[in-house]
Amino acid sequence: MLHGYAGKILKINVGSGKQVAENTPPELAEQYLGGRGFVARLLYDSIEPGTDPLGPANLVVIATGPLSGHLLPGSGKTHFGTLSPATGGYGDSNMGGHFGPALKYAGYDCLVLEGAAEKLSTIVIDNDKIEIVEDETLQGKGALVAEKILKERLGEDFQIITIGPAGENKVAFACISHDFGRQAGRTGVAAVLGSKNIKAVAVRGTGSIPVYNAKGAQQKGEAMYKVCFAKPGFKTWTPYGTASITSWVNEVGAFPTRNFQSSFAEFHNKINGQAVVDKLLITDKGCFGCPTPCGKYGYAKTALGNAYVEGPEYESIATLGGSCCLEEIEEVAYANYVCDQLGLDTISAGVVVSFAMECFEKGVINTAEIGRSISFGSLDDVVYLLEKIAACEGIGAVLAGGVKPASAAFGGGSEQYAIHVKGLEWSGYECRNAPGMMLSYMTADVGAHHNRSWALGYDISQSDADVSELIKAGAGGKMDVSSPEGKVDHVISMQHSRPLYDTLGICRLQTMEIGFETVHYEEVFELITGRKLSWAEMLAISEKIWQLTRLFNVKHIDGFGRSWDYPPRRFMEEPVTSGPNEGRYIKKEILDKMLDEYYEKRGWDSNGIPTPETIKAYGLK
């Protein structure tokens, strides 16, 4: 028996209705742990080159980790993966909440969906009873509305993921929604669910998960919570959650503003963590198992309307508040709510909307094409564009592919400021004074996402300080940090450590934000699974997964290589327009030097392709 795991992988062909629950292969658990590891391996093995991301042959893999659902801090995470419609390559996205634990209690480590249903349907998994229910009445319903309807229909003890109209319409940055405010936002997993005509998956799990040493795991789990309770950040970071970093990011000149023209916003105090607490907050809302709930559930009142909304967390503040220049937290929250309901990733949506605004300012697109004039700072315009995108109507149909295809369609030099890597829009850190963070974005497997390596703290402090410590220390006058020296090693190491949390099925924020020590995971992992693995050994597995996701991109993206690893030209050619980093940018030569070093250390050739020796050394096929 595989201790710690639920023990089965459930494969459903949503077209034919065929379902198979197979034992979770012990060698898969041994070699890839779970979560992101399962996602990467299953996708690599099962998808043929040339597969249409939005065709029935693509898969959606939903995987928990060996630590998901157990008694330990942050054990509520679920990983989603697919051949991404945004990048054409490896796509994955991580989500908190309660869905993954429920899936394990129902008996499944992992859910694999293939095929396509004829009509809009919901998958209902009630322990070992599985049904695919056609339900066209949910068509066009907001993601939160659909979740509420299904909760009322099925019962409170079902955990549900839904997609909104954007997912149904296969917008490349449609997100999966859960628990009225948690999302698997990135890489367009929801568009793939939409292409399969799956509006929702509901799970009830009433069983248990086998534990190798239940008493020992309980004692260790309890001790881990108490370690968290004693961290200074437990009290200082938790009340504000991820938004607590907003003003620090602005102070160090990394806060994207006006579609990343600048990295500084004068109005940051109106949209930071304090503003969330003062103007919006109703309750803290966390994931399963979480001691430090980062979710700030609130109520926003604006001229356009009022809404209950979870968030905005930092990324939504950076892209909707910073990049689109919404200067009031209520407006950011309302735009966030509109994204949630439509089922749009707030990160990509904010970047796409601000891109359109800059295109309009520069005369690349006009009033006739857009249907009106638009400008930075207008909530009305943001909402107008979001609705057009979700409906794939007019200009929205072009923007729905993301900034990469949109800039190709618009032309007029707009590629220069289409802020993405590999077709995935950049998240909330402007990097023209942060080479480590820039390299993180350039080399992340899914495209411009911070979750794989967040080197900004290291760029600024040259240390491994956690976020609570960084905020306490402030920028400290160390503003000229643009030296790339020593950054490559740090980025590589973070690209193993951060995705490891997604592999184990846990939240990384307790470590990253309040300094919870990783040694505890080693101990609890052994008590839960009966398998002894040091953190370093787990990192080695994470490193192998990194090689595998690179190989996935090589396999699926025509002509994949070095040219896919550059940021938009803006970051290499245009100086920052204001703030502490005014005038700075990072020349391509510097980035090339970093890339050369990075490839060499990774065992990739100068085009960024893993060499045959490297593939062999990692035992990959």
Partner 1 sequence: MKLQVKEDRCSGCNVCRVVCTLENFSTVQPSQALLKIKGLFPDPGKYEIAYCNQCGVCAGECPEEAIKEVNSEYDIDYDLCTQCLICVDSCPFDVMVVLESGYPAKCTGCGKCVELCPRDAVLADQG
Residues at the site binding partner 1, with contacts judged by CB under 8 A: 69-71, 76, 98, 101, 105, 144, 148, 156-157, 179-181, 205-209, 211, 214-215, 217-218, 221-222, 225, 228-229, 282-293, 295, 297-299, 308
Closer to ligand SF4 by Cβ: residue 74 or 205:
74
For 326-364, b/e burial (b = at least 16 CB within 10 A) is bbbbbbbbbbbbbbbbbbbbbbbbbbbbbbbbbbbbeeb
Min. distance of Cβ 282 from partner 1 in angstroms? 4
Query: 300 pairs with which residues across the strands?
Result: 307
Closer to ligand SF4 by Cβ: residue 182 or 550:
182
Min. distance of Cβ 218 from partner 1 in angstroms? 4
Q: Which does 96 bind (CB under 5 to 8 A by kind): ligand SF4, partner 1, none?
A: ligand SF4
Q: Name residue 100's amino acid.
A: G
SS (H, E, C) 329-394: HHHHHHHHHHHHHHCECHHHHHHHHHHHHHHHHCCCCCHHHHCCCCCCCCHHHHHHHHHHHHHCCC
Closer to partner 1 by Cβ: residue 192 or 228:
228
Q: Which does 34 bind (CB under 5 to 8 A by kind): ligand SF4, partner 1, none?
A: none
3-state secondary structure of 615: helix
SS (H, E, C) 43-89: HHHHCCCCCCCCCCCCCEEEECCCCCCCCCCCCCCEEEEEECCCCCC
Q: Which does 297 bind (CB under 5 to 8 A by kind): partner 1, ligand SF4, none?
A: partner 1
DSSP letter string, 522-572:
HHHHHHHHS----HHHHHHHHHHHHHHHHHHHHHHSTT-SGGGGPPPHHHH
Phi, psi of 130 (to 5 degrees): -125, 130
DSSP 609: -
Q: Which does 486 bind (CB under 5 to 8 A by kind): partner 1, ligand SF4, none?
A: none
Min. distance of Cβ 43 from ligand SF4 in angstroms? 24
Closest by CA position to 320, among listed 400, 385, 365: 385
Min. distance of Cβ 528 from partner 1 in angstroms? 9
Q: Which does 558 bind (CB under 5 to 8 A by kind): ligand SF4, partner 1, none?
A: none
Min. distance of Cβ 292 from ligand SF4 in angstroms? 5
Binding mask 483-522 for ligand SF4 (x = CB under 6 A): ------------------------x-x-------------
Query: 91 pairs with which residues across the strands?
Result: 82
Tokens representing residue 285 in the block: 């809302």
Distance CA 244, CA 574 (A): 29
Closer to ligand SF4 by Cβ: residue 76 or 402:
76
- Which residue's structure tokens are 């490349």? 172
Min. distance of Cβ 286 from ligand SF4 in angstroms? 4
Contacts of 73 (CB under 8 A, 6+ apart): 224, 225, 228, 289, 290, 291, 292, 506, 507, 510, 516
Min. distance of Cβ 229 from ligand SF4 in angstroms? 12
Distance CA 208, CA 577 (A): 56
Distance CA 250, CA 256 (A): 8
Closer to partner 1 by Cβ: residue 119 or 215:
215
Q: Which does 535 bind (CB under 5 to 8 A by kind): partner 1, ligand SF4, none?
A: none
Closer to ligand SF4 by Cβ: residue 76 or 608:
76
Distance CA 518, CA 516 (A): 7
Q: Name residue 267's amino acid.
A: F
Contacts of 621 (CB under 8 A, 6+ apart): none
Q: Which does 509 bind (CB under 5 to 8 A by kind): ligand SF4, partner 1, none?
A: ligand SF4
3-state secondary structure of 484: coil
Closer to ligand SF4 by Cβ: residue 43 or 217:
217
Distance CA 432, CA 452 (A): 19
Q: What residues from 60 to 79 belong to the interface with ligand SF4 (CB under 6 A)?
A: 74, 76
Closer to partner 1 by Cβ: residue 157 or 480:
157
Phi, psi of 463 (to 5 degrees): -145, 175
Min. distance of Cβ 182 from ligand SF4 in angstroms? 8
Closer to partner 1 by Cβ: residue 308 or 566:
308
Min. distance of Cβ 407 from ligand SF4 in angstroms? 32
Q: What residues from 90 to 149 belong to the interface with ligand SF4 (CB under 6 A)?
A: 96
Following CA atoms 236, 240, 243, 248 in sequence, which dihedral angle do they give, to the nearest 10 degrees? Answer: -30
Min. distance of Cβ 181 from ligand SF4 in angstroms? 10
Closer to ligand SF4 by Cβ: residue 481 or 514:
514
Phi, psi of 264 (to 5 degrees): -150, 135
Phi, psi of 312 (to 5 degrees): -75, 140
- Count of Cβ atoms closer than 10 Å to residue 472 Cβ: 13
Closer to partner 1 by Cβ: residue 115 or 291:
291
Closer to ligand SF4 by Cβ: residue 22 or 517:
517
Residues in the chain: 621
Min. distance of Cβ 291 from ligand SF4 in angstroms? 7
Q: Name residue 488's amino acid.
A: V
Binding mask 276-305 for ligand SF4 (x = CB under 6 A): ----------xx--x-xxxx----------
Q: Which does 240 bind (CB under 5 to 8 A by kind): ligand SF4, partner 1, none?
A: none
Min. distance of Cβ 278 from partner 1 in angstroms? 17
Q: Which does 427 bind (CB under 5 to 8 A by kind): partner 1, ligand SF4, none?
A: none
Closer to ligand SF4 by Cβ: residue 295 or 457:
295
Min. distance of Cβ 8 from partner 1 in angstroms? 16
Binding mask 198-217 for ligand SF4 (x = CB under 6 A): --------------------
Count of residues binding ligand SF4 (CB under 6 A)? 12
Q: What residues line the site for ligand SF4 (CB under 6 A)? A: 74, 76, 96, 286-287, 290, 292-295, 507, 509
